[in-house]
Structure 1
């Protein structure tokens, strides 16, 4: 069993660190808000630390699950100094590929491994240990990390060199944005035409239109229920990374641009913490 440090105990990190404990690993945790780390340590058999240095010291694997590029860089300043040689740093934050590549290079200078490993599956996937992980980094480090990450993942794929995991997450978000926009318009159209959504789903839910979003969100979208799942604020952050990367590489993504602007409308309604399926509100209201 491995000695693990887990930095960042938000909606995703809290249950993920708990799964590591359940798998038999020695787990230490740190969170910027100290109370969250203390609350975690009262739920799981693990130790909360006030400092990143103390949490990371002696760890075989250091996990990050924070907010965005700036947060990754801030935490990595301490990790790079405190981590023991040959430790493997696994960053589950959805960040830019440039952030991943810079962290990888700095880690290599200190004989540390860095894997960018953004996750997909949402809060339910984290709670149930059924996340999908897209990784970028060295093959040897990835293979060492796989048995540990399996505590909370159902699928782990090495996409390529550093930054590739974040690129794959961008593609994941592009595809989700497209599906949600199409589903929003479909549900909105059905409602406006006076059709019963449950009956419509019986007809189209097993054919070519079927998707996870349709199975899990179509009915709640028709009822204006959005108090669960992946928040609009997070999706706007992720799509912002996508659009910035696309712009730097002269790639046209008109659908992502449109969806990003519609999520801004949802935020302005006060729906920043609503589930991403609230995209339909930009059509309804």
Structure 2
């Protein structure tokens, strides 16, 4: 028997998938009605987290943040059986994941951080990616369980907390990419270009194919052989910002980036590759 704490969109769909596989699952949520809703799928809902985990060999959690994870695990702790394994799918800090691994080990409980690049549909259909790192014997033991839950289980090695770090790195890119899409649509609106035309552009042009080469170029730190000079990129950014201002459209990401470009131009890097603006991060 297993338990699942945290019945948000992701946790609820993980539980539904478990029930589709015929697995017995106890569920708990701070707002009990969300846990109660899973009883229609054959899960058993509990008022108290400690009762939900009694007898469970595996305890999955999907919660909000470090503080919530710590609070809920402490609430549930009186119900943990010796040798129980906690598998935490919450996006947390690296420090928090390392600290919990050590603290629960000292209390005779295994804690494994397994954050995901998965949305609710992925959780229901067992697709997307799940990350793990740390004690390889533990990971080997729970891999059959985790492989059922995701399309790809990515083992990042023995370093505690690395899964948490990689999840944050990936999410930083997703936020930047999505903000870029929002700004792009703002530029399109400013220029009177329809979203259908934007979709058509990306049906014929895949900038994602540039990602590996661009990552290699930036991480290599060579900005003296530009493929797009900073001053020219800033000129183009100015055209976009001017069109947006005229249409009363705010470009949140581009406005911030333009300010960074201006700073680097003032320091004498106008003819460098424009990605020099990120060199302080290398």
* Fold shared, TM-score > 0.5 on shorter chain: yes
Residue by residue over 1:40-71, the C-alpha shift from the partner in whole angstroms, topping out at 9 and shown as x without a partner, is 11x21121111122111111110111111111
Aligned to 1:123: 120
Residue by residue over 1:4-27, the C-alpha shift from the partner in whole angstroms, topping out at 9 and shown as x without a partner, is 110010111111111112122211
Q: Under a length normalisation based on structure 1, what TM-score does the superposition of the two structures give? A: 0.68
> How far, CA to CA, are the matches of 1:36 and 1:138 in structure 2?
33
- Alignment map for 1:169-184 (pairs within 5 Å): 169-184=167-182
Unaligned stretches of 5+ residues in structure 2? 210-249, 254-282
> How far, CA to CA, are the matches of 1:83 and 1:208 in structure 2?
50
> How far, CA to CA, are the matches of 1:76 and 1:206 in structure 2?
49
Unaligned stretches of 5+ residues in structure 1? 212-279
Q: CA RMSD in A?
A: 2.3
In the alignment of these two chains, the number of paired residues is 213
Residues 1:89 and 2:64 aligned together: no
Give the deviation of 1:178 after TM superposition: 2.0
Give the deviation of 1:85 after TM superposition: 2.2
> How far, CA to CA, are the matches of 2:95 and 2:38 in structure 1?
32
CA contact (8 A) 2:183 2:251 kept: no
CA contact (8 A) 2:58 2:85 kept: yes
- Alignment map for 1:68-217 (pairs within 5 Å): 68-160=65-157, 161-210=159-208
CA contact (8 A) 2:51 2:76 kept: no
Residues 1:39 and 2:25 aligned together: no
Structure with larger Rg: 2
Runs of 4 or more off by more than 6 Å in structure 1?
A: none
CA contact (8 A) 2:26 2:43 kept: yes
Q: Under a length normalisation based on structure 2, what TM-score does the superposition of the two structures give? A: 0.69
CA contact (8 A) 1:204 1:210 kept: no
Q: 1:17 to 1:93 in 2, by over 3 A?
A: same
CA contact (8 A) 1:100 1:163 kept: yes
> How far, CA to CA, are the matches of 2:31 and 2:6 in structure 1?
9
CA contact (8 A) 1:7 1:65 kept: yes
